[in-house]
Amino acid sequence: MRIGYSCWGFLGSGVTDTPDGGRSHRRTLVDGLIAAGHEIVFLQANRDLTEAGTDLTATYRWDDGLPEIDALFLEWRWPIPGRNTTACGTDGHTCDLHRQQELLDHYTHRHAVRTVLWDKDRQLPADDPLRTAGHVQVCEPALHPSPGAVSLLFPVADDALDQAHPGALAAHGRPLPLVYVGNQYDRDTAFGEYFAPAAAQLPHQVAGKWSDTARWPEVNFTGRIPFDEVAPLYRSAVATVLLAPDRYARSGQFTQRLFESVLAGCLPLAPHTLRGAEAVVPRELVVTGAADVVATVTALTRIAGSQAHADLIARCIDHLDPFRLTRQLRTLTAALAGTCIPPLLIEGARA
């Protein structure tokens, strides 16, 4: 199958000043599709080349036209005022939204090409006509997707899970008890309830774009870091907290921060308000508030480097099984072909 792939992001490390979390899993998914025999043509701008100076054209194909394809796969883009809603050519304009509409008009609406829409940020309106089009399948990276949508979780390479070494991860020096990597976007409530009060009592670091921080003078905000520095930062820390916007929490959507931290041996604490938390982390890492975060991190710091620490990391890795690339490929392949999509069967996902 020739798949037209629309995404506004990078396959490589990209640039520092970008919110593109897809770098942690996009290439994993694309390479998995190619290994399964599919042909991929990228239909948005080659940002790896034009912005990051990384030439991947010997490995992947980009096309700014409207080539023949068998299916269209969209990492859904939405209006961002002052950025992609402005006129083409104006300062600060990005053409992702205009290009997405061009692709929808040509492939989905005019030629009824099978279309899979991956609503990674839960921005597609509930009443959007695309949700009811017979040749369109909406996917969401959530344990409990919207009515009519199916779960397509952020994928982790099988080899990354199978080759992770809990003992080596536990033995790694971890001078930082608590860390958070990620941007502020719609996370103020969770941050104020779970992280900031704990940060006042523990050595910590917050890396990411946080522009409104005056209410948390006790927090050490260090700004965005290059993508290649994310894993080393996690490897320096005992634990992190999975902070999520309410729309993620209600649907059981867990971002790439979960597996990025686990595969670096940084234990993820999941607020109990995240639906299905016990499906993706061990029960003892589910926390009820900042005091629980402090108590849990303190206890984890005491066992750092021990066999108990290694065993807990191993259980966290086991909990990542639902995110395996092979499982996501089964879902996506069925969605692209318009065949029966296998159900998401995850222990604890109904919680």
pLDDT at 187: 96
Residues 175-187 have pLDDT tens digits of 999 999 999 999 9
Residues 31-47 have pLDDT tens digits of 999 999 999 999 999 99
Amino acid identity of residue 171, one-letter, is A
Question: What are the strands, taking DSSP E only, across the chain?
Answer: 2-6, 39-42, 61-62, 71-75, 114-118, 136-140, 150-151, 176-181, 204-207, 221-223, 237-241, 267-271, 286-287
Q: Is 74 exposed, middle or buried (0-12, 13-18, 19+ CB in 10 A)?
A: buried
| Distance (Å, whole) CA 10 – CA 208 | 18
Q: Is 292 exposed, middle or buried (0-12, 13-18, 19+ CB in 10 A)?
A: middle
Cβ 263 vs Cβ 319: under 8 Å: no
| Distance (Å, whole) CA 341 – CA 348 | 20
Average pLDDT value for residue range 213-223: 96
| Distance (Å, whole) CA 164 – CA 315 | 12
Q: Do domains 2-155+324-337 and 158-322 have the same CATH topology?
A: yes
β-strand 176-181 against 150-151: which pairing, if any? Answer: unpaired
Rg for the chain, CA atoms, rounded: 20
Residues 76-124 have pLDDT tens digits of 999 989 889 999 989 889 999 999 999 999 999 999 999 999 999 999 9
Where are the domains positioned within the chain? 2-155+324-337, 158-322
pLDDT at 18: 82
Compute the mean pLDDT over every residue in the chain, rounded to the nearest whole number.
95
CB under 8 Å to 174, separation ≥6 — which residues? 235, 236, 237, 238, 265, 266, 304
At CA 255, angle to CA 29 and CA 305, rounded to 5? 100
Domain spanning 158-322 has what CATH number? 3.40.50.2000
Q: What kind of fold does domain 2-155+324-337 have according to CATH?
A: Rossmann fold (3.40.50)
Q: What is the pTM of this model?
A: 0.94
β-strand 114-118 against 136-140: which pairing, if any? Answer: parallel
H or E element in which residue 291 lies: helix 290-303
The residue among 211 and 346 whose pLDDT is bigger is 211
Confidence of residue 345 (pLDDT cuts 50, 70, 90): low
- Please tell me the total number of residues recorded for the chain in this structure: 351
CA dihedral 99→103→106→110, nearest 10 degrees, is -130
Q: What b-and-e string marks burial along 132-151, b requiring 16 or more CB atoms within 10 Å of the CB?
A: eeeebbbbbbbbbbeeebbb
Lowest mean pLDDT among 4-18, 108-122, 336-350: 336-350
